[in-house]
């Protein structure tokens, strides 16, 4: 038993740092978008496209690498995705114009989108059922660490040395991929049967016995990703639009980001006590209310309070989502099913940032924009409540 605990801790740490590096890149992008607005004289629509192109890449990566993980294994795909986004981040510092930058961001996004569902699937299959939910949510908590580091880098590095120096740091994660290759072992599969073809796996995800779970996951992923990337990639820029300086907005986002950690830890503690469905519903409801009041906030105090609550509840819900998703499918289609749901969700990540850009260009208020995100989250709540089944304790092959 002691050896198993050590193995779980090691797996959590190794996979968690891969997750942290992903979060650093996504977090830094939100600050880089704000910085590029002035450097390249970007319109709000162009700013929205930077976030959306990353999500297009994430959709492609989640689908392609999720399917590939069922073919060649979780660990090797995890290494490939780490290398893809780290090399892409390094190359992005060479971009001197908008078009080249978003092209590079597509490939960075593909690596990011592939790594997240593959890592959560790998961890889910390697942990005992009674601890699986908590461990996967703790894995997700590394995302908060990445965002906090990104906010610190944005506050101290970007104003003094520029965004290129900040982006170059994420390229160093390529070295970490080599470490992952030797430290993580592929889960042993019990079945010795021939693996299904790609087409069979895709059809199986929508087979009658899985269709209800798949529909629920696709709705849930779309609404969560749509609202998260629409809100958080624009967060520093929204604060600038509310009248705060660029440097102050970076500092305020850092303060809000700190609330992500207790959001993850409380969700990790509750998920094995309440179950996946209840944690998702409660934390998504908290996200919806926080988004609404943040959009209506007028004073600095209310901006910081509701921004922190938004970080707390939204990231706690993300942790539960990653624990819940792999538990919907048997091992042979688990990577495909989780990857397809994540890929569909990334369509929301494409639409969300673009929607904000176009609505701001049309001079639609931040209040209305955040009300739309509130409504989307409510749809996700209904999907879980009406279509979802509790999976706490379910044994995964």
311-366 pLDDT per residue, tens: 999 999 998 998 899 889 988 888 888 888 988 998 998 899 889 988 988 989 99
- Considering the domain 2-184+201-387, what is its CATH architecture? Up-down Bundle (1.20)
Q: Which residue has the higher pLDDT, 40 or 233?
A: 40
In the predicted model, what is the mean pLDDT of the chain?
85
Report the range out of 105-119, 174-188, 191-205, 356-370 with the highest average pLDDT.
356-370
pTM above 0.85, yes or no: no
Q: Mean pLDDT over residues 40-58, rounded?
A: 86
Alpha helices of the chain — where are they, by DSSP H? 2-39, 44-72, 74-92, 98-124, 129-156, 158-161, 163-170, 173-183, 198-205, 208-232, 235-241, 246-257, 260-270, 276-296, 300-324, 331-361, 366-387
pLDDT band for position 185 (cuts 50, 70, 90) = low
Q: Mean pLDDT over residues 64-80, rounded?
A: 82
d(C-alpha 324, C-alpha 124), whole Å: 10
Tell whether the model's pLDDT for residue 106 goes beyond 90.
yes
Distance of CA 193 to the CA centre of its chain: 33
CA of 108: how far to CAs of 36, 60, 113, 232, 347, in Å?
Answer: 18, 11, 9, 18, 16
Under the phi-then-psi rule, with left for phi > 0, alpha for psi from -120 to 50, and beta for the rest, what region is 388? beta
């Amino acid at each position: 038993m002691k050896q198993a605990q050590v193995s779980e801790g090691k797996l959590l740490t190794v996979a968690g740092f891969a997750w942290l590096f992903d979060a650093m890149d996504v977090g830094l992008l939100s600050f880089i978008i704000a910085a590029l607005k002035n450097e390249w004289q970007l319109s709000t629509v162009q700013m929205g496209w930077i976030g959306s192109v990353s999500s297009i890449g994430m959709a492609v990566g989640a689908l392609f690498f999720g399917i590939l993980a069922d073919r060649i294994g979780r660990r090797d795909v995890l290494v490939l995705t780490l290398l893809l986004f780290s090399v892409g981040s390094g190359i992005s510092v060479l971009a001197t114009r908008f078009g080249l930058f978003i092209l590079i961001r597509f490939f960075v996004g593909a690596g990011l989108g592939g790594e997240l569902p593959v890592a959560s699937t790998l961890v889910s299959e390697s942990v005992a059922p009674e601890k699986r939910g908590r461990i996967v949510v703790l894995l997700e908590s590394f995302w908060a660490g990445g965002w906090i580091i990104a906010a610190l880098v944005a506050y101290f590095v970007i104003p003094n040395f520029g965004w290129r120096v900040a982006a170059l740091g994420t390229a160093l994660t390529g070295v970490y991929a080599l470490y992952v290759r030797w430290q993580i072992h592929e889960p042993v599969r019990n079945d010795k049967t021939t693996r299904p073809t790609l087409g069979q796996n895709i059809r199986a995800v929508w087979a009658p016995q899985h269709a209800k779970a798949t529909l629920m996951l696709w709705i849930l992923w779309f609404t969560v990703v749509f609202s998260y990337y629409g809100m958080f990639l624009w967060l520093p820029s929204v604060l600038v639009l509310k009248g705060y300086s660029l440097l102050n907005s970076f500092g305020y986002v850092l303060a809000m980001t700190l609330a992500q950690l207790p959001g993850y830890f409380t969700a990790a503690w509750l998920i094995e006590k309440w179950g996946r469905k209840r944690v998702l519903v409660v934390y998504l409801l908290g996200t919806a209310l926080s988004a609404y009041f943040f959009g209506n906030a007028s004073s600095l105090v209310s901006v910081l309070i509701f921004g922190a609550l938004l970080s707390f509840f939204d990231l706690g819900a993300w942790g539960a989502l990653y624990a819940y998703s792999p538990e919907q499918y048997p091992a042979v289609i688990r990577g495909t099913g989780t990857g397809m749901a994540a890929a569909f969700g990334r369509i929301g990540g494409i639409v969300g940032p673009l929607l904000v850009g176009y609505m701001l260009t049309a001079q639609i208020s931040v209040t209305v924009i955040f009300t739309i995100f509130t409504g989307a989250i409510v749809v996700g709540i209904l999907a879980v409540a009406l279509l979802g089944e509790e999976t706490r304790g379910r044994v995964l092959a």
